[in-house]
Structure 1
Amino acid sequence: MNENDLMQDNITGQNQEGSNANWPVKILTATSIIGDPVDNAQGENLGKIKDLMLDIHAGHITYVVLEQSGILGINEKLFAIPFKALQLDNANEKFILNASKEQFEQAPGFDKDHWPGTNSHNYYQGAGSYWGNFMGPSTGNSLT
């Protein structure tokens, strides 16, 4: 692809590489992930991605903060889920977490006014250990 094609893409909004130029998905913007729904394999909605936790030294997403909404915004609960525990369902623009609704509701979480410290290794290691139990060989954040 040459620079003229890229300029044409920007002007027209049309992708000059074809309709599947971004397949398989390899890179996404943070804003395209934040707000995405997260379901389990049974199709039950577990919540939505509220934020991303970046390892600034390693340069990758370590955790997503998943928000489970309460009624009228009351009793919201937040969860730190290792990014590698999620799979992208590209066709439906959502992520899949390999956990039942019951397992999810028993997971360690926190509320919006009491986030764990960003350097709280105890909290994040505990959350990682919990979710590691649900990450089988077929899971992971493969974006295909």
Structure 2
Amino acid sequence: MSLHPTISSAKVEGTAVYDLAGDKLGAIDDLVIDKRTGHVRYAALEFGGFLGVGTDRYPLPWDMLKYDTSKDGYVVNLDRDLLTTAPRYAKEAAPAYTEDYGRSVYTHYGFNWQ
């Protein structure tokens, strides 16, 4: 059992995200929280571009990410090819996180929208 089961969103933002092979995909840019339940719905993965220019945000269902203490980062069962067709947005153009949008994100990754 972890001694610290909670974490500040400020510490999650910037944390690296790796695929199952251990390759870095990007980093967490933002968290999206359900106002009614208080649960994190998405982690916005910053991916693509060069030196932060032209990078897009890819909302990933929070339950998709598993923290790996040996990597000091999150691991996802995801390959880069799936990201090419994933819902995404530019940092300045965050979407309205509606129920329909949520369903499209969760469905893309094979998760059920609750």
The question of 1:36 aligning with 2:33 is answered no
What is the aligned length? 112
Q: How does 1:129-144 map to 2 (within 5 A)?
A: 129-132=107-110
Structure-1-length-normalised TM-score: 0.70
Secondary structure, in 3 states, of the residue corresponding to 2:93? coil
RMSD: 2.0
Residue equivalent to 2:53: 74
Distance 2:84 2:25 in 1: 9
The structure whose Rg is larger is 1
Residue equivalent to 1:128: 106
Q: Structure 1 pair 110/43, CA: closer, same or farther in 2 (3 Å)?
A: same
Structure-2-length-normalised TM-score: 0.86
Secondary structure, in 3 states, of the residue corresponding to 2:51? helix
State the one-letter code of the partner of 1:75: G
Contact 1:85/1:132, CA 8 A, preserved across alignment: no
- Flag the structure with higher helix content: 1
Post-superposition CA distance 1:11-60 (Å, at most 9, x none): xxxxxxxxxxx835521111121110001001111110001101121111
The question of 1:94 aligning with 2:70 is answered no
State the one-letter code of the partner of 2:102: Y
Structure 2 gaps of 5+ residues are none
- Flag the structure with higher strand content: 2
Distance 1:73 1:84 in 2: 26
State the one-letter code of the partner of 1:44: D
Aligned structure 1 segments of 4 or more residues deviating by more than 3 angstroms: none
